[in-house]
Each structure stands twice: as structure tokens, then as C-alpha cells.
Amino acid sequence: MGRHSRVEEPATERPDARTTTTGTHRAVGKAARRRVAAWPIACVVLVGLLVTGWFGWNWADGVVASRAEAQASDCQEGDSVLRVVVAPAAAEPVTKSAMRWNDERTVVHGHCVTVDVHAAKSDRVLDALLGRGSSASLGGGTPAAWLPESASWAEKLAEGRPAIVGSQGQSVATGKQGDFPYVALAGDGVDATQQRAAQSFRAYLLAPEQREHFDEVGLSRP
């Protein structure tokens, strides 16, 4: 019998090798895709934040502008000055309250009312209001309100010149220095807006927010 010959089979790729190679490429491809996809997402988020911030800034700026316009439109009748003469012992808390009032741009009858506080001794104010003393004690203009140390000064004014007393005195503070009635004034030089503002400012002085100013100088509230 003849010798058996060895048959050489053609070389073929092993399935496991192909699978391993292909699997490696897939794994690398997936990792690469993940790395590439990260920065576009970050960019989108950053752009979104910038856009949101821009709209938020413009919205806030618009709100501020709208409030300013609203305040300006409320003062359609212009500005008005409310002059208040007060005894020196109560001048500090009344002045601080007036500053807060002015900062709030308080509007009365379409006017932005600014409160101007002037400190003066009550006897000099009474003489000036009765026309027998210097008007310098009134602060350079006709006051629409007066806060003397006691109701006796208001009573003397009502006896000597009742026409300029717009309302009976109402105490806004008391202490060792006296009892400070708030007297609204009327007559020439005090228009309707100032009369109304004087009433509003009296209520403002009695508000809880102003209590601290009076406490600082040893005055209690009624």
C-alpha cells in the first residue's frame, strides 16, 4: 500500500480571534464616542446658563425700570414740600422718620412729598405763628405741622389765632422732655396737598417702624 499523504487544510481565521478583534474595536469605539459626546453637552449647558442669565438680568433690569417709571408716573403733579417745625428735644427722631419717608418717595395727591424738618424753641415758633416774631423760627417757609413740647403751646395758638389750627394736637411721643402733640396747621401758604400730607406724616410717625427712633432719645410712644 502506498504512503498516506498529509493533506494541508487552507489557513482560516479563527472565529474567536475575529470576535476578539471586532470586540476590541467596538469597545474602543464606544469609549471614543463617550469622550467626544461629553464636551458638546457641556457646551450646551454653558450656553443655556449664559442665555438664562442674560434673560434673568434683563428681566431684573426691566423690573427696576418699571418700578422707577411707576414712581415717576405717580408724581404726575410734581413735587411738594411739607415743612414741619419741631421742638429740639424731639427733632432727632422726627428728622430720621422724615428721611425714611423721603427715601420711600411718598406720594400724596399725585405729588412726591418731601418732608423738611426744622427744630426751633416753642416760644419762638408761637410768636412767629402769631405774627409777632421772626419768621426765621419757622424754617424759611410756612409750616404745615408743629410739634411743641406740650399741649399748652397748641392751646395758646388756638386762642390767639384759631384760623391756622388745622387739627387738635395728638401726642406722638412722651418723656421727661415733655409731651409732644402733633398740630396740623392751615391758612395761607398751606395748600390742600400739604394739609393731607401733614395728616399722613402724623400717622407715619405713629407707625411701629418709627418707634426705634424715639426710643433712642428716651421718648416713649403713646
Element (H, E) at 34: helix 15-74
In order of 22, 60, 77, 198, 201, the CA distances from 182 in angstroms are 96, 41, 27, 9, 10
Among the residues of 83-150, which ranges form H helices? 91-103, 122-129
User: How far is the C-alpha of 101 from the C-alpha of 97, rounded, in Å?
Assistant: 6
Those residues with Cβ within 8 angstroms of residue 108's Cβ, 6 or more apart along the chain or in another chain: 80, 193, 196, 197, 200
Whether the model pTM is above 0.75: no
User: How far is the C-alpha of 178 from the C-alpha of 65, rounded, in Å?
Assistant: 46
Mean pLDDT across the stretch 66-82? 69
In order of 86, 119, 163, the CA distances from 144 in angstroms are 11, 14, 13
Task: Cell numbers for 39, please give them.
Answer: 464636551
Q: Are 117 and 90 in contact (CB under 8 A)?
A: no
Could you tell me which of 138, 149, 142 has the C-alpha nearest to residue 89?
A: 149
Other C-beta atoms within 10 Å of 157: how many?
Answer: 22
% of the chain with per-residue pLDDT over 70: 67
User: How far is the C-alpha of 7 from the C-alpha of 159, rounded, in Å?
Assistant: 143
Q: Are 156 and 126 in contact (CB under 8 A)?
A: yes
The 10s digit of each residue's pLDDT in 152-208 is 999 999 999 999 999 888 999 999 999 999 999 999 899 999 999 999 999 999 999
pLDDT reading at 116 higher than 70: yes
77-215 under CATH 3.40.630.30, yes or no: no
Other C-beta atoms within 10 Å of 100: how many?
Answer: 15
- 118 vs 38: which has the higher pLDDT: 118
Other C-beta atoms within 10 Å of 182: how many?
Answer: 27
